[in-house]
Amino acid sequence: MPRPVFLSPPDVGQAEREALARAAATAWFAPLGPEVDAFEREVADLVGRRHAVATSSGTAALHLALVAAGVGPGTVVVTSTFTFAATPNAVHHAGARPFFVDVDEATGNLDPDLLDDALTRLEASGARVSAVLPVDIYGKAAAYDEIGPLCERRGVPVVADSAEALGARHRGRAAAAHGLASALSFNGNKIVTTSGGGMLTTDDDAVADLARRLASQARLPARHYEHAEVGYNYRLSNLLAAVGRAQLSRLDAMSARRRAVREAYRGLVDDVPGVDLFAADDDEDDNCWLTSLVLDPALGPTPASVATALAAAGVETRPLWKPMHRQPAYASCASLVTDTADRLFATGLTLPSGSSLSEADLDRVLTLLSEALTPGA
Write out the DSSP string of 12-58.
Answer: --HHHHHHHHHHHTSS--SB-SHHHHHHHHHHHHHHT-SEEEEES-H
User: Which has the minimum average pLDDT: 105-114, 215-224, 349-358?
Assistant: 215-224
pTM: 0.96
| C-beta separation of 362 from 369 below 8 A | no
Q: What is the pLDDT of residues 57-67, one digit of tens each?
A: 999 999 999 99
Nearest CA to 83 out of 214, 185, 9, 209 is that of: 185
Q: How would you classify the pairing of strands 51-55 and 76-80?
A: unpaired
Q: With 0-12 CB in 10 A as exposed, 13-18 as middle and 19+ as buried, what is 329? A: exposed
Going along the chain from its start, the domains and CATH numbers come out as 14-249 (3.40.640.10), 251-373 (3.90.1150.10)
pLDDT at 228: 84
- DSSP-derived secondary structure letter, 111: -
Kindly tell me if the per-residue pLDDT of 314 is higher than 60: yes
Q: Is 127 left (phi over 0), alpha (psi -120 to 50) or beta?
A: beta
The Cα–Cα gap between 187 and 46 comes to: 19
| pLDDT tens readout for residues 189-247 | 999 999 999 999 999 999 999 999 999 988 888 888 888 899 999 999 999 999 999 99
HSE, side-chain direction, 13 A CA sphere, residue 273: 5
Task: Tell me how far apart the 2 most distant CA atoms of the chain are, in Å.
Answer: 75
